[in-house]
Amino acid sequence: MTDLTHPDTTTPTAADPRRWWALAVLAASLLVVVMDMTILTVALPEMAAELHLTSVSQLWVVDAYALALAGLLIPVTALGDRWGRKRMLLTGYAAFALGSVAILWADSAAAVIAIRALLGVGGAMVMPSTLSLIRSIFASPRERTLALSIWGATASLGAAVGPVVGGALLERFSWHSAFLVNVPLMVVAIGAALWLLRENRSARPGRIDATAVILSAGGMTAFVYAAKQLGKHGPSLPTLALLVLGVAMLALFVRGALASDRPMLDVRIFAQPVLRAGVVAALASSAAMVSVLFVGSQWLQLVEGWSPLQAGLALLPLAVGAMVASPFAPALAERTSPRLVLSGGLLVLAAGLSLLAVVPATYPWVAVAFAVVGLGMSALGLGSALIMGAATDDQAGSAAAVEEITYELGAVLGITFLGSLVGAVYRAGLPGGVDAAARESVAGAVGGPWFAEAADAFVTAFASVGAVGAVLAALAAYAVWRLVPADLTLDDAHH
């Protein structure tokens, strides 16, 4: 493998005995970052009561993290290519630790929102750096694919484990514990990263200019915020205008990147069909996973009446399925073909989502559907391997940013559009005369006279997410089958 680091640093070879320990550190830190996206859903009610948060403040507490993370992914990754990916990772760990400690002094909505934004900045530093470093640590295509599959499984595990950890902490401690749990984990991560990881940079980092930073950060933030607003409140003129503005800013950013010889994000990598296939797979997997977690959690807590901890544990088959299948995907791809395994994974995902649409709405049945969805999530890791493998050494940062943006957008679009579908089907399934609170959401019907009707309508809405998600996953499988060459091997898929 080409040595792309500066003279004072060396890239570990495949024979480096510490490479799997290094992967353990990178995967564990990713687990914490992804957990932070979902852990707050459990802590929010108690936090809102203590800090007297309005409904608008609560939305900002949840969204500040995702908006900061999405907006900064491109500039921060470009900075890491130039400054050093290990350095960027360590800075992200430190930001996470500082933000998590600062929660002890937070006594207002503004303070909590600022801290969530700081954690989002930390997440933007950590997530692409883990991918770029995995790419440099593992020289063997097969080992690299396995490492990236483990990375993908860890992302699935983090999203599912967040509510479990949050629920367990809240049963014993205050809502502050949902933040403070990060601190010891990050301190250990900093120590382990200093010891195990080598510095790594791009030999030809992209130029970082103010216009590109404003267009990429502003465009991503506007797009993600508008998409979230569409999901929560439906279309309105200001939201649609913001969506158009976000898309326009991103289009200008892409145009500038194509015109530059050293762009901040090398968008030319999209010319490769294999990378586009990886993006489709990661987008479909991420959207399915997050929407199933989101709607499944609501069904378990609001309709079935389970506690946050019980609901979190009930979602674990999804993570277990992903953890079981992901490590086997590379070996299977080597024996058959990446095209077959990636398309097959997405078809398994479609089958799991179909089960949600047809099985009885009782927990043992739904657990089986969750597990099958989890097995299909193995497509996320293999998709990541195709995205990272399609890039040259100099493009590793750009590929990592593309992978992370895909993962983020999949999550946002999954909740926005499938979440909107849930709302629409739920309201359509209610009989006339239902009070406004119950019509607004199933949460408003809990304990009221219309609860039975609302619960039935929500079960129908949950099934509709499975049905529509299954069609989308099957379409993604078809797209991947068309994009990936039949004779592609794992070795071919890596520069």
CA dist 220 → 310, 383, 406, 410 (Å): 35, 22, 12, 13
35-68: b (≥16 Cβ within 10 Å) or e: bbbbbbbbbbeebbeebebeeebbebbbbbbbbb
Helix (DSSP H) and strand (DSSP E) numbers for the chain:
20, 0
Instruction: Reply yes or no on whether the pLDDT at 10 is more than 70.
Output: no
The DSSP secondary structure of 469-491, one letter per residue, reads HHHHHHHHHHHHHHHS-TT--TT
Exposure string for 209-227, b = 16+ CB within 10 A, e = fewer: eeebbebbbbbbbbbbbbb
String of b and e for 304-334 (b: at least 16 CB within 10 Å)? bebebbbbbbbbbbbbbbbbebbeebbebbb
Question: Once rounded to an integer, what is the mean pLDDT over residues 282-296?
Answer: 88
CA–CA separation, 470 and 472 (whole Å):
5
Give the pair of three-digit tokens for residue 31. 């687990």
Amino acid at 107: D
Instruction: Let me know: does 250 contact 452? Beta carbons within 8 Å.
Output: no
- The Cα–Cα gap between 58 and 233 comes to 15
Residue 388 has pLDDT above 90, yes or no: no
DSSP string, 411-477: HHHIIIIIHHHHHHHHHHTSPTT--HHHHH-GGGGTTSTTHHHHHHHHHHHHHHHHHHHHHHHHHHH
What number of residues does the chain have?
495
Q: What integer pLDDT is reported at residue 495 of this predicted model? A: 58
User: 365-375: b or e for each residue (b if 16 or more CB lie within 10 Å)?
Assistant: ebbebbbbbbb
pLDDT score for 469: 93
Q: Is 7's pLDDT higher than 70?
A: no
Reported confidence tier of residue 372, pLDDT bands at 50, 70, 90 = very high
* Helix, coil or strand: residue 361: coil
Q: What is the pLDDT at residue 493?
A: 62
Q: Kindly report, residue by residue over 339-365, the tens digit of the pLDDT.
A: 999 999 999 999 999 999 999 889 889
Q: Residue 41: which of 462, 415, 420 has the closest Cα? A: 415
Please check the confidence at residue 13 and state whether its pLDDT lies above 80.
Answer: no
Report the pLDDT value the prediction gives residue 61, as an integer from 0 to 100: 84
Q: Domain extents for the chain? A: 19-208+264-483, 209-263
Q: Give DSSP secondary structure letters for 58-117.
A: HHHHHHHHHHHHHHHHHHHHHHHHHH-HHHHHHHHHHHHHHHHHHGGG--SHHHHHHHHH
Cα(139)–Cα(134) distance, integer angstroms: 9
Reply yes or no on whether the pLDDT at 475 is more than 90.
yes
Model confidence at 194, in pLDDT bands (50, 70, 90)? Answer: very high
Architecture of domain 19-208+264-483: Up-down Bundle (1.20)
pLDDT of 202 above 70: yes
User: Using 50, 70 and 90 to split pLDDT, how confident is the model at 15?
Assistant: low
Instruction: Kindly report, residue by residue over 71-86, the tens digit of the pLDDT.
Output: 899 999 989 888 889 9
Residue 248 has pLDDT above 80, yes or no: yes
